[in-house]
Amino acid sequence: MIKEKIPVYFVPGLAASKEIFRNIKLPEDRYKTTIIDWLIPEEKEPISDYAKRMASFVKEENAVLIGVSFGGVMVQEMSLHLILRKLIIISSVKSKSELPKRLRIIRKLRAYKLAPTSLIVSSKDLTKYAVGPKSKKRLKIYDEYLHVRDKRYLPWAIENMVCWDREEVDLAVHHIHGNADMVFPIKYINSSEIIEGGTHIMLLNKATAVTKKIVDIIEDN
């Protein structure tokens, strides 16, 4: 008897394309994987409405939903409209209390509104939003995967990441996080599966360890 494959859906990080998951190799005999691309938001669209549209791409009940960075925020919003087997976030946050101080300051000062979208679209500044500014090597690697540079999407996504107002942690969330993540430092993160030496781009350079964590979480009943 052929065992039915478990459906697994991925949502990439802020402005990232599906190629960000190219090193994540789930066993093809056990899992059917789908990557959900970012949509262009409607004018001033609430994140709750956007998440409902994204959730419509999940066709099965009891699927696994996995999001990275801002995609981790998005899958938590999407989960409100879905019946899931597992909900997994990677290099992300479970509530606004896990955001680092610099993002809280940006939120308070509304500084995310100061950068012209044209500058973000055309320069490395977008990569710095997604990865953090301190590593030129990591910036170069991640920049290859930032393909969503729509002038409506970018300010919307940055604002909704910085201003996410989730207060209570969803206990159903499984969190995989690197202890060398500079975007969302581990000192602000509670209750996560740790990847030693994992940075914000560990999906690319520690894919084997991340994949093992994903499989372990899915298979743990």
What predicted TM-score, i.e. pTM, was given to this entire model? 0.88
Answer for the pair 6, 26: CB distance below 8 angstroms, yes or no: no
Per-residue pLDDT of the chain (221 residues; tens, 9 = 90+): 568 999 999 999 987 888 889 999 999 999 999 999 999 999 999 999 999 999 999 999 999 999 999 999 999 999 999 999 999 999 999 999 999 988 888 888 887 776 555 444 444 444 444 455 555 555 555 556 566 667 888 889 989 999 999 999 999 999 999 999 988 999 999 989 999 999 988 998 899 999 999 999 999 97
Longest dimension (CA), the chain: 59
Instruction: Give dist(CA 200, CA 13) in Å, integer.
Output: 10
Cα 87–Cα 180–Cα 77 angle in degrees, nearest 5: 25
SS3 114: coil
Domain ranges of the chain: 6-219
CATH class (in words) of the domain with range 6-219:
alpha beta
Q: Is 211 exposed, middle or buried (0-12, 13-18, 19+ CB in 10 A)?
A: middle
Indicate the burial class of 2 (C-beta count within 10 angstroms; 0-12, 13-18, 19 or more): exposed
Gap between the Cα atoms of 83 and 23, Å rounded:
27
